[in-house]
Amino acid sequence: MGKKNIITGQKIKPEKLARAKELRRNMTPAERRLWGKLRANRLGGWHFRRQQVIDGYIVDFYCHKARLVIEVDGPIHYKQKKEDARRSKVLSARELKILRFTNGAVMNDLDRVLDEILEEIEPDSPFLEERG
């Protein structure tokens, strides 16, 4: 059995894995800011991975236990709406929830972004009340 915190049983092409590693090294400022709050189980004890390959797509952040994908969308996403819709359809077929945030939301209203993530994962979290 594979690692428990990732999508297992996938065949990942070496070039896709290399691209995911490159994206981990070269995160956008918004991704870096959000990762600072998600890494090391900092958000309510939930474990997130960054630049996770799922069905050939590289998602920005992934929480296996919550079956949650988080995408941080920069300007390029305005030009690739059809591709993003296709990607969302594939991920949704795996019964994954997808949350999308703009770079601006992450950079300018990070507390709200974190609250939305927690609300999706565990609506009754006492952590939400503490942040309140």
Separation CA 71–CA 59 (nearest Å): 6
Instruction: Using alpha carbons, select from 127, 109, 110 the residue that is nearest to residue 118.
Output: 127
pLDDT tens-digit readout, 104-117: 999 999 999 999 99
User: Domains plus CATH for the chain?
Assistant: 46-131 (3.40.960.10)
Least confident span in 5-9, 32-36, 80-84, 108-112: 5-9
Band (5; pLDDT cuts 50, 70, 90): very low
Least confident span in 80-84, 101-105, 112-116: 80-84
**At a CB cut-off of 8 Å and minimum separation 6, what does 32 contact?**
none
Band (83; pLDDT cuts 50, 70, 90): confident
Q: Which two tokens stand for residue 116?
A: 């939305």
So what's the pLDDT on residue 10? 81
Report DSSP letters for the chain, one per residue. ---TTS--S----HHHHHHHHHHHHT--HHHHHHHHHHGGGTBTTB--EEEEEETTEEEEEEETTTTEEEEEE-GGGGT-HHHHHHHHHHHHHTT-EEEEEEHHHHHH-HHHHHHHHHHHH-TT-HHHHHH-
pLDDT tens-digit readout, 10-40: 888 999 999 999 999 999 999 999 999 999 9
Q: What is the pTM of this model?
A: 0.84
So what's the pLDDT on residue 77? 52
pLDDT tens-digit readout, 57-76: 999 999 999 999 999 998 66
